[in-house]
Chains A and B, each alone.
Chain A
């Protein structure tokens, strides 16, 4: 938990994101049929999802920790990570939909990966609704932690496994070549991989800020 209060990784997040913004717009990209310059959206669309996975993973880790420890702080961090994950989910969906409009001709084209992502969204909305349904704090923390742990593998199956079994417009699915093999070169990797790290750290930063606000509220409400 000490890690939350250190500042070096927050500077690092800002530095990496600034680098990916500059390099993403200025460096050269491969010229591809249909995609053309929109391929630069890879630097924003994919990192949103990676950031979402990162905060959801942190959320599950702290849910597991909560079940072991019963420490209220772990629950607060888990729920704030889930909140931020849902936010990055929406960003990933929007960046994807705008790109889909240019590349595939429609905002929503019944693509398996899009549909799976929408279902995963319902899963996490259900988690947030479940939290609202229970009044008692410890009971809420425990039951929602259990649902969170239960939902996480289903989310992984939905987004990572199922779309790969059918035809999808997304690269790397349903026999389509993965992005890396065909349309990406090393210039893009120089930007994309740092962007994964940068946005993940950024998402974690937002989550910790929200967590700290929650913690202040929690400490104020508690009776010493």
Chain B
């Protein structure tokens, strides 16, 4: 109960801070829009791209790669922007589990919102060929949840190890590859409009990975924050 209360108030504080500055949200949104636009211009330099045979495969893969980089950039900030003194203050008033949980939930909310906007912008530029939009949308939400849980913990580790972007990337990419492989397969099934029952296995594995990652974060974070 204590943990629930602490998590909730820390989460409220995160959302309030973000609402006041809107820095992370606007920053990442702009990042996504510019990346999508760069891809759009680059791919359409030569004509006939939209009608080519590999187009649906590219459409899907490119979207996930853009999302991957956008979420690394968005979530890497989650521990960097906190000053050491402020973190110390949190730990004196709340349990470390509440801190990591509130960060994770906040990142899940932020990334879900951003990825919904991103898929809309992306579909605006790149003509979409999705066969089953509802399942594709589910894949996008599942993806943003999985990215958030994994990257939050990794960004906590990276922020303790000197806070540089390179470290965040090399630590998180190998961990996220299994997730992104499943997501690409899952969303490709949705694009092709295949039977929904084919995806139960993918959803199950994604949930399992998320459960493992959250459990590992809750157990390991209390050791991490102490200096």
Minimal beta-carbon separation of B177 from chain A (angstroms): 5
CB <8 Å contact, A153 and B212: yes
Contact residue among A125, A143, A151 (Cβ-Cβ distance under 8 Å from B175): A151
Minimal beta-carbon separation of A72 from chain B (angstroms): 16
Q: A142-B223, A150-B153, A150-B220 are in contact. Are A134 and B162 (CB under 8 A)?
A: yes
Contact residue among A67, A130, A158 (Cβ-Cβ distance under 8 Å from B167): A130
Q: How many positions in chain A have a CB within 8 Å of any CB in the partner chain?
A: 29
Asked if B181 is at the interface (CB within 8 A of a chain A CB), the reply is yes
Alpha-carbon separation in the docked complex, A194 to B149 (Å): 41
Asked if B27 is at the interface (CB within 8 A of a chain A CB), the reply is no
Alpha-carbon separation in the docked complex, A161 to B220 (Å): 24
Asked if B131 is at the interface (CB within 8 A of a chain A CB), the reply is no
Asked if B15 is at the interface (CB within 8 A of a chain A CB), the reply is no
Asked if B173 is at the interface (CB within 8 A of a chain A CB), the reply is yes
Asked if A162 is at the interface (CB within 8 A of a chain B CB), the reply is yes
CB <8 Å contact, B170 and A165: no
Total of A-B residue pairs, C-beta within 8 Å? 72
Minimal beta-carbon separation of A99 from chain B (angstroms): 25
Chain B interface residue count: which class? Answer: 20 to 34
Which residue of A has the minimal Cβ distance to B153? A150
Q: Which stretch of A3-11, A49-57, A116-124, A175-183 is in the interface?
A: A116-124
Q: Mark contacts of A134-167 with chain B using CB atoms, 8 A cut-off: 1 yes-contact digit, 0 otherwise.
A: 1000010011011101110110011001100110
**B residues within 8 A CB of A157?**
178, 209, 212
Asked if B133 is at the interface (CB within 8 A of a chain A CB), the reply is no
Which residue of A has the minimal Cβ distance to B160? A143
**A residues within 8 A CB of B164?**
133
Asked if B161 is at the interface (CB within 8 A of a chain A CB), the reply is yes
CB <8 Å contact, B161 and A126: no
Interface residues of A (CB under 8 A from B): 67, 116, 119-120, 122-123, 125-126, 129-130, 133-134, 139, 142-143, 145-147, 149-151, 153-154, 157-158, 161-162, 165-166
Q: A119-B177, A123-B175, A133-B162 are in contact. List 12 more A-B contacts (CB 8 A).
A: A122-B173, A130-B157, A130-B171, A134-B161, A143-B161, A147-B157, A147-B171, A150-B154, A150-B157, A150-B220, A151-B174, A153-B212
Q: A129-B170, A133-B167, A165-B205 are in contact. Are A154 and B175 (CB under 8 A)?
A: yes
Minimal beta-carbon separation of A143 from chain B (angstroms): 5
A-B pairs with the 3 shortest C-beta distances?
A: A123-B174, A122-B174, A126-B170
Which residue of B has the minimal Cβ distance to A162? B178
Alpha-carbon separation in the docked complex, A53 to B224 (Å): 26
Minimal beta-carbon separation of A135 from chain B (angstroms): 9
Alpha-carbon separation in the docked complex, A181 to B22 (Å): 59
